[in-house]
Chains A and B, each alone.
Chain A
Amino acid sequence: MERKFNKRGMKVLGITLLIYAILVAPHEGEFWPFSIYPMFSQAGNPWTRAMVLDVTDKSEQERWNNHLLQDRVSDAVPVGSYGVDQIDFSNFVVKTENWTDSRRNALITMFGSENIEGRKWMVSKVRGEMVEQDSVIIEIRPFIMITADTTYLNPNLPDEAYRGGTE
């Protein structure tokens, strides 16, 4: 009886494993809750995230210039305190290719225009990469400035940066 259960148990596990493989194979290793757990599997690649800086009191030049993380002079806006998931926010900013009016306005909606009232917030892309043999640089690239009712594109970037995903 016990041996029969054991054998049947392993058979059912084997079939489940087969279904697991069939589902994850054509879906890039992910078919929840099945996964090949590929996180961090490709090491050393550059990454791009997003963050918001409060640039209300900064000059035009300070607002729009690329700068390294260690040279940052503006405070970071804690997106979590506005109920925004920072990973979703990053993906929205980094993966959007065509910045239509509705996409730009979605940035204001995300935080709530009442929270931005009287402020100027810079939605910035942040890129990290390994350089030479022994260092990592993290650069902040201002992308879209938002106020309570308007969005401004970076005048230093070509139009293509907002219509095709390049910077």
Chain B
Amino acid sequence: MIPVSHYLFLSLALFIIGVVGVLTRRNVIIILMSIELILNAVNINLVAFSRLFGSVNGQIFALFVITDAAAEAAVGLGIIIAFFRNRETVLADEMDLLKW
């Protein structure tokens, strides 16, 4: 049987890759994809601990996290489309005005 710490290390690797993507990329769409990676890493943790404790609650919380990720992706992509229509760019470091 694989110990739970291996799942934790896998989840940590995915989480750190997602954090690096959020902090370093300029393209907002790829930043959103990195956020999906981070939420996914959290889900691995929840499911691994659900199996460790023999309780299904962790899987239910993972379902809620997936719901949240879907809502966040829909709203974020709506914002990107609205922004692109006004400014013709998807680069994060060119988004420096509150009003134009």
Asked if chains A and B come from one complex, the reply is no
